[in-house]
Structures are given as structure tokens and as C-alpha cells.
Structure 1
Amino acid sequence: MKIEHNHEHHEKATGNLLFVFILNIVFNVIVIFGGLITNSVAILADCLHDLSDTISIGLAWVLEHISQKNPNKNYTYGYQRFSILGAVITSIFVIIVSVIVISESITRLLNPVAPDAGWMLLVAIVGLIFKGISVFKLHNGETINEKAILFHLLGDVFGWIAILIISVILMFCEVSFLDPLVSLTISMWLLYNMGKTLHESVCVLLQKSPKNIDVCEIESQIENLNHIDKIIDIHLWSLDGIDSVLTLKIKIDDVNNGVNVKKEIYNIASKYHIVDTNVEFM
């Protein structure tokens, strides 16, 4: 049985990512000038983060848009995995940028430079507004693609909060090392979370069974149905981290009961976001 794929979550994701993409283009220009004016390594580091934000969000938007295309002869399951591809590319890109920022932060820790605290405060306030709106737009996202971008933006929000606090402290105390220290901390946090997102995305691409579905539980429910002697083979994987596919080879006591057995299996599968269920009787 094939259930028509539900593209609603991908359509919503595309709209959200486009909005955030435009917002980040505008903010990216602001941060570049802010970093040059303040001489703050935390803001300069965020320039790289924001540049990667813009590129990642743009790419995520394109791939999320492609993921809505209907199945054809070349992509018989449709294009939903393009959303996962976006999450993988975004995660790798952000991890690379984070490593670069960590390296720069360590260098600045060894040779601290006093930033312009007043301008830092102003840029931090603007940063919190822009990034806060972006996070709010994506915080209910269902796709892994959206979640990858959300973690990136959350890192920026924490960064701007820290920069705001540091800018106030620097107005009264000479503690230049706090600037690169915060940048280092945020980059490490981002590296950890994007690593988890990358792992989750790769697991989907490698057709690992969905983490939110217990294969043994489904198997047990099916085995308890009438007329089923044995499940010979079962395969379960996810198309995009949301919708899943199930294939089964089953031995039944009488092929004449096959129609009813299939209906019962389809009912079980429909409870788990399984959009395509294929049953073969042996």
C-alpha cells in the first residue's frame, strides 16, 4: 500500500527558510561592518558564522524546495531525501567554520585585543533582534534540515547574548580575554550540536531504522494478528527523518486471508508515519 506523501511539513519548511534567508542576508551586511568597526574577535567570528548561516540557509531552502517534487521514473520515492542532503551539507559546512573560529579564538586568547565596547553593545542588540526572529520562525520546524539551521541560529543567539554581556563588562573592566573566550565556548557548543545533527542525517541516508519507531514493537503487533505464522523478513527506514517505509515478507496459514491481513498491517503502519507499506506473502 502506498499512501500519498504528505508535503505539508516541507512546504512550511521552505517558506520558513526563505524568510530566514532574506533576513540573514540583511544582517550579514550589518555584522561585517560591525566587526570591522568594533575590532571584536567575537563579532568577527560571528561574521563567519553569519556568512555560513546565509549560505547554509540558502542551500537548505533550495534543497527543501526540491524535496517537494513528485516522484518520477528517476526518483520513484520522490525527492524528500534532498531535505536530508541539505541537513548533511549544512552540518559539514558549519562544523568546518566552527573549527576555523576555534582556531582564531585560541590565537586571540594568547594575544588579546581590546574591542570597542560601545559599538559591541549596539551590534549585539541588533544581532539579538535579527537572530531572535529567525529562531522563532524555525523553532517548530519538523524537518532535520530546519533543525540543522535552527541549531546554527541558536548558537548565534547565545553568542550575541554573551557579546552583549561582555560589552557591558568591558565598559567598566579591562578583560579583553573574555571576548575570544566566549567565541571559543560558543563554537565548541555549535560543533557538538552540529555533530549530532550530522550523525542523525547520515543515519537516515544509510537507511537506519527511525529512532522514534520501535521495530520490535511493530513486529510484535503484526505477529499477534490472526492467520500470521511467521515474519520472515522486515525492513524499515525513513525517507527524510519524518516519513518512513516498511517492507515485509510474511508466512500466513491461508493465502485467502491475505486481503484482511494486509488491511490490518496497513492500519498498524499508519500509526507510525509509515507512508509506504509493502507486504509479500510466502
Structure 2
Amino acid sequence: MSDGHSHGGHSHGHSHGSSGNLKTAFLLNLTFTIIEVIGGIMTNSIAILSDAVHDLGDSISLGLAWYFDRLSQRGRTPKNTYGYRRYSILGGLITGLVLVIGLGFVLWNAIPRLFAPEEVNAPGMMALAVVGVIFNGAAVLKVKKGSSLTEQVVSWHLLEDTLGWVAVLIGAGVMIVWDLPIIDPILSIGISIFVLWNVLRNLRKVFNVFIQKVPEAFDVEAFEKAVLAHPKVLSMHHTHSWTVDGEVHVLTTHLVMKRDTTRDEMIEAKSQVRRLLDERTFEHVTVDVELEGELCVIGAGPEHGMADVHG
């Protein structure tokens, strides 16, 4: 016989501050894009105008990330039983992909300049670079405070822009003193490769959420070992764990207990499962109990003597 389900408390710890962080980053980026267009026209710099197009794409992706993050904070509905949390991951995915494309565009244009350096308006670049560092740096500091995957991807997005303008500032300063236009593409390529590596790492985390892998910090084997230490638990199967958005996790499992197990002992076993899981991250926990020799309600599962672990 089955002893029903045990659900963990739903003390949603998802920070509503993430939406405010992304909103600030979006407004700062959009404002600077407008400044950059004006500055590019005034300095007659095609490089700055090209970067303005790149920043416009950044603004669009940041706006989407902000929208999806706000959407993710809605409560559950009959058709969205986990709420809209997963939409924040969609925002992070779009932002990351836009950044990868943008970095590819930067590298595509920077590599040829290694072999054919072009003269630039160094004083105008330096002045605009100072503004760029201030705007993008402020946005990075704001988003870095967040913990969501979307904010992590966006922070690298903005860091790429900030470091890019630091490179422009240093390069322009050097080129004011020495005629070395090759410095600009060298710095651009180095920073792009560094940021691309970190963005791909964060995109891997986003991908793992979409394919429902076990939460990164959760050790399934250690968890099973601790559960099986209960004197009345013979085995466990159909153990599944995944994460909704990288912050809120889910776990379901079936416990096979000795035939003489009392109801109080069943409740204690399920309580032990709950205690072994971090209550701040595992908001959805379901434990089904079967007595020794009883057929699993799922029907097609493995034999009770074996553990079946999925993520």
C-alpha cells in the first residue's frame, strides 16, 4: 500500500530584486547606446558606430531578460504548476546566445585588423571610453549582486562591454602617445576570448537546467546512502531530481519499507528525506512509500532491491 506524498514547504526564496537589477542594467545600456550613436557620428568613427549596433542588440536582449525575469515571478496556475520561474532561464539563454553572436562579430572584425591596422580618432575614443566604463561598470555592479542564472549570464554580457571600453581607453591613451593602432585589435581579441569562455560556461548551466540534469551541488549517491541508513528503509527507486530555474529544485522518490513498518515510522522516514535536503532550494519534494513485497504503483519500475537514480 502507498502512504501518499510528502511535500516540502514552499517558502519561495527567489529574489524579486533580480528584476530590478536587470531593469537598471537595461536602462543604463540603452542610454549609453544612444550616447554612443551620437558620439560615433561626432567623431566620425565607424568602429564606435559598429559597437553602437552591437550595444543596441545588447539592449534588446537585456530587455527580454528583464521581461522574462518579471514573468518568472508570477505564481502558479493550473497550466503552469511550478509558476513561471523557467521563463527566467529562457531570458538567460537568449542573452547568452546574443552575446556569443556579438563576440563572434567582434572577433570577425578584429582579426583582419591585426594584419591591416586602421588609424583611429584616439582623443575622441578616449572620451567616449570613459563614459562607456562608467555606464557599463555601474550596470555590472548592479547585476553582480544577483544569484539567478540569467543575472550571471547578463553580468558577463555587461562585463564584456565594460572590459571592451577599458581596452579602448588604454589603447586610445597609448595611441595618443605612440602611433600603434595594432593595440586596439589585440586587446579586443584577448578580452573577447576571455568573456566568451565564461559565457559558454554559464550557457552550459542553462542547458543543464533545460535537459533536467540533477542540480549541480546535489550529491545523489550521498543522499541515497543517508536515506538507506534508516532502519526501516529496505531500498529506494524512481529517484528523480531536477532544477526548475537553477535556484529552486525538485525531488521525487519511492521508499520500500519493511512490512511491519508503522505509520509513524513511515512519517519519520519521509521527514528524514526532507531534513537531508536544503529547504531553501528544494521547494518541491514528493516521497512515496511502499511496503516490502508490494507492487510499485508506477508498474514499470526496477525491482525494489535496486536503486534507480535519474536526473
Per the shorter chain, which TM-score range?
over 0.9
**Which aligned runs of 4 or more in structure 1 are off by greater than 6 angstroms?**
none
1:20-35 to structure 2, matched below 5 A, reads 20-35=25-40
1:76-104, Cα deviation, whole Å (9 max, x unpaired):
11111111111111111111111111111
* Counterpart AA for 1:86: G
TM-score of the two chains, using structure 1 as the length reference: 0.93
Q: Equivalents in 1 of 2:178, 2:45: separation in Å? A: 16
Q: 1:207 to 1:259 in 2, by over 3 A?
A: same
List alignment gaps of at least 5 residues for structure 1: none
The residue that corresponds to 1:138 in the other structure is 143
SS in 2 for 1:112: coil
- In the TM superposition, what is the alpha-carbon distance from 1:157 to its structure 2 partner? 1.5
Q: Equivalents in 2 of 1:90, 1:144: separation in Å? A: 11
1:97-112 to structure 2, matched below 5 A, reads 97-112=102-117
Count of residue pairs the alignment pairs up: 281
Q: Equivalents in 1 of 2:225, 2:279: separation in Å? A: 15
| Residues 251-260 or 113-122, more deviating | 251-260
Is the aligned partner of 1:196 residue 2:196? no
Identity %: 32
SS in 1 for 2:267: helix
Q: Equivalents in 1 of 2:166, 2:52: separation in Å? A: 15
Q: Equivalents in 2 of 1:220, 1:164: separation in Å? A: 56
- In the TM superposition, what is the alpha-carbon distance from 1:36 to its structure 2 partner? 3.9
Is the aligned partner of 1:231 residue 2:236? yes
1:143-197, Cα deviation, whole Å (9 max, x unpaired):
0000110001111121111111111111111111111222222222222222111
Q: Equivalents in 2 of 1:63, 1:20: separation in Å? A: 14
- In the TM superposition, what is the alpha-carbon distance from 1:30 to its structure 2 partner? 1.2
CA RMSD, aligned part only?
1.8
Q: 1:50 to 1:261 in 2, by over 3 A?
A: same
The residue that corresponds to 2:309 in the other structure is none
Q: Equivalents in 2 of 1:37, 1:217: separation in Å? A: 63
The residue that corresponds to 1:161 in the other structure is 166
Is the aligned partner of 1:205 residue 2:210? yes
The residue that corresponds to 1:86 in the other structure is 91
1:229-252, Cα deviation, whole Å (9 max, x unpaired):
111231111111011000001101
The residue that corresponds to 1:275 in the other structure is 283
SS in 2 for 1:106: helix
Structure with a larger share of its residues in helix: 1
The residue that corresponds to 1:248 in the other structure is 253
Q: Equivalents in 1 of 2:99, 2:60: separation in Å? A: 10
The residue that corresponds to 2:293 in the other structure is none
Greater Cα radius of gyration, structure 1 or 2: 2
Equivalent of residue 6 in structure 1, options 12, 15, 24: 12
Q: Equivalents in 1 of 2:162, 2:102: separation in Å? A: 17
1:56-81, Cα deviation, whole Å (9 max, x unpaired):
11000000001011111111111111
Q: Equivalents in 2 of 1:39, 1:181: separation in Å? A: 22
